Amino acid sequence: MSSSLPSRALSDALSRLDQLTNWERKPRGEMRVGLEPMLDLMQRLGNPHQSFRAIHVAGTKGKGSICALVEASLLQAGWRVGRYASPHVDRVNERVSILGQAVEDDNLAQAVMQVLDCYQGAKREATAGEDATWFDVITAAAFVAFKDAGLNWAVVEVGLGGRLDSTNVVFGEIAVVTNIELEHTEILGNTREAIAGEKVGILKPGATLATTLAAADAAGHVLQQRADDLGCRVLRTDVPDDATIAQKNNALVGLVLDELGRQGESATAAAQAGKPIGAWLLDETVREKARLPGRMERFNVKLPANSQARQRLVPVLMDGAHVPFNIEAVLRDITGSSDTRGECVAIVALASDKDAQGFLAVLSRHVAYAVFTEASGSGRAHPSSELEMLAKSMGMDCEAEPDAQKAFDRAAARVLEGDGWMLVTGSLYLVGALRGAVIEGAS
């Protein structure tokens, strides 16, 4: 999904890395999850994950945005901060942010090669590290890069679940669980309570838990019970149910920042030196710096005229939402904006492990027309023809086109017939496949 070529060193490192199993590209039911390979790699690398303090973020949706907001806030306060995220949209470097910038190619290449050398050592000695996966190695490489950069803090996003995720070797002084909905049920469990038990597995003795979930909520009760067992404090947001995604994210990040201040952490930037860290850091500058590709991202794109329609600027919104409750929130926020008018034409791809029926049930209430496609980068795309059949059974006006670029062209032709807007959703891999072309056409 890269929009620009990596350096030769990084290309060589990634080629070597790609020999390993990449669970992000396999059917979820086949995944191996466990911490033993990561712990072996960490020991062989000199425990780079212990060289920085961490804030650890899990949850069904919103993890990336929460991490970016915390990172931007702490950078504004003068801290030396890194952020680890997944997946990436355009380049693998996006996963490893150092002082607010994607890690340099050669630095990432060096870290990846160092981890792979340790992996080879584990293979020779037949220790747990011989079972390390692609995600284990890229996670370990991020921690090596953070250590090499001399960072004080890292904001670490969970890849999948929490308890057995590769990132769970870090001690998150504040553990965040954004929300809990049904996802990856083959691995995490078939109920919100079971999934909550996996995600709150990032909470460790001595840490503080921050969440949007009320104690009375079934999943929230699981979080509270785990916190009680470990003797951990729990912080909860207090926002109305109809709050926007941004409002909910800001409230949760505000809790995290205020807690850091309560624990005695202060800003070091010259203009703010000594001032306790707090939600006051979340100003417009910070929120703008924290914007991520493929999360409520908007472009005005000049679509070419065809024989039936004139050329015009069309709003194109890109969001990788892939679970029903999140696409519902995304569409509510978008349609509630005065900037978006007319009918929505959507380009949609879903991975095979996603709740297609639930997702399409939401789309059917908001979208005038859909073009279903496949994001091949995931390696486990739901066939576009099956999505089309399912959507038509729900009464949706739609078509299927497996090629993502052709699907975009078909959606563009459709939107030019009216006066509406376009939505690219269902998969960050789809966003990555189309984002470069969308940017080129943007005004």
Higher pLDDT, 33 or 267: 267
List beta partners, residue 350: none
Higher pLDDT, 360 or 185: 360
Q: Provide the pLDDT confidence category of residue 322 given band limits of 50, 70 and 90.
A: confident
Q: Provide the pLDDT confidence category of residue 334 given band limits of 50, 70 and 90.
A: confident
Lowest mean pLDDT of 13-22, 92-101, 156-165, 289-298, name the range: 13-22
pLDDT digits (tens, 9 = 90+) for 149-176: 999 999 999 998 899 999 999 999 999 9
Q: Provide the pLDDT confidence category of residue 338 given band limits of 50, 70 and 90.
A: low
Measured distance CA(362)–CA(347) in Å, rounded: 14
Section 116-138 average pLDDT: 95
Q: Is residue 424 pLDDT above 90, yes or no?
A: yes
Q: Is residue 278 pLDDT above 70, yes or no?
A: yes
Question: In the chain, where are the structural domains located?
Answer: 8-289, 297-441
Tell me if the bond preceding 324 is cis, omega within 30° of 0.
no
Strand order of the β-sheet with 153-157 is 101-102, 96-98, 81-84, 153-157, 53-58, 172-177, 208-211, 233-236
Higher pLDDT, 134 or 33: 134
Q: Strand 153-157 vs strand 101-102: parallel, antiparallel, or unpaired?
A: unpaired
409-434 burial, b at 16+ Cβ within 10 Å, e below that, comes to bbbbbbbbeeebbbbbbbbbbbbbbb
pLDDT at 28: 47
Average pLDDT across the chain, whole number: 90
Strand order of the β-sheet with 398-400 is 297-303, 312-319, 421-425, 344-348, 369-372, 398-400
pLDDT at 443: 64
pLDDT digits (tens, 9 = 90+) for 200-232: 999 999 999 999 999 999 999 999 999 999 999
Q: 8-289 belongs to which CATH class?
A: alpha beta
| Helix%, strand%, coil% for the chain, nearest 5 | 50, 15, 35
Q: What one-letter code names the amino acid at 274?
A: G
Count of C-beta atoms within a 10 Å radius of residue 2:
14
pLDDT digits (tens, 9 = 90+) for 51-85: 999 999 999 889 999 999 999 999 999 999 999 99
Q: Provide the pLDDT confidence category of residue 3 given band limits of 50, 70 and 90.
A: very low
Section 113-128 average pLDDT: 96
DSSP 43: H
Instruction: Name the CATH architecture for the domain at 297-441.
Output: Alpha-Beta Complex (3.90)
Residues contacting 71, CB < 8 A, separation 6+: 81, 82, 83, 97, 100, 155, 290
Residues contacting 268, CB < 8 A, separation 6+: 77, 78, 79
DSSP 77: T
Q: Provide the pLDDT confidence category of residue 23 given band limits of 50, 70 and 90.
A: low
Q: Is residue 185 pLDDT above 50, yes or no?
A: no
